[in-house]
Amino acid sequence: SLPLMADYATEQYWQQRMWLNYIATELHKNFISPFRKGNWLPNTPESQDLVRSRVFPRLAYIEKALAGQSFLVANQFIAPDAYLFVMTNWCRRLAFSLTDFPNLDRFDQHMRQDPAMQSVLKQEGKPHSSKA
């Protein structure tokens, strides 16, 4: 199996750390809305609009990084890619379209083809979105 993190003190290692931190602090936290009801994903029109306004500019940054490559660092699947797939899956679960982000959409579709990811998605069950 492939390692999920590069060797310590290499450029790839620090790029991976940067992406993990970016996804955690800039993307993940902006999916949280104080206006949600009943579960952790935003599920009211107001909370979804708020989350969309916070998340989409950050997705645009990642969109540029994925131009011409399949994965975030050295074009290899690593830990930040797994975390990013959680975020793109949340977009899907909220019925947020990725059509304005063709690189992210391609990434998401590629990840969905992996048998391990299909197993996880099956276990998660149906989306929590009020639109789904």
Tell me the Cα Rg of the chain. Answer: 15
Report which of 98, 91, 11, 21 is spatially closest to residue 63, judged by C-alpha positions: 98
Sorted by where each begins, the domain ranges of the chain are: 11-124
Q: How far apart are CA 92 and CA 50, in angstroms?
A: 16
**Residue 48 banded pLDDT, cuts 50, 70, 90:** confident
pLDDT tens, 86-107? 999 999 988 899 999 999 999 9
- pTM value is 0.86
Which residue bears the tokens 């998660």?
124
Please tell me which of 35-39, 59-63, 90-94, 115-119 the model is most confident about, judged by mean pLDDT: 59-63
Evaluate whether 16 touches 5 at the Cβ level (below 8 Å): yes
Question: How many Cβ atoms from other residues are within 10 Å of residue 63's Cβ?
Answer: 18
Instruction: Tell me the Ramachandran region of residue 9: left when phi exceeds 0, alpha when psi lies from -120 to 50, beta otherwise.
Output: left
**Residue 19 banded pLDDT, cuts 50, 70, 90:** very high
Report which of 79, 58, 62, 71 is spatially closest to residue 2, judged by C-alpha positions: 79
Tokens of 103: 């690189």
pLDDT tens, 105-117? 999 999 999 998 8
List 76's β-bridge partners, or say none: 73
Q: Which fold has domain 11-124?
A: Glutathione S-transferase Yfyf (Class Pi); Chain A, domain 2 (1.20.1050)
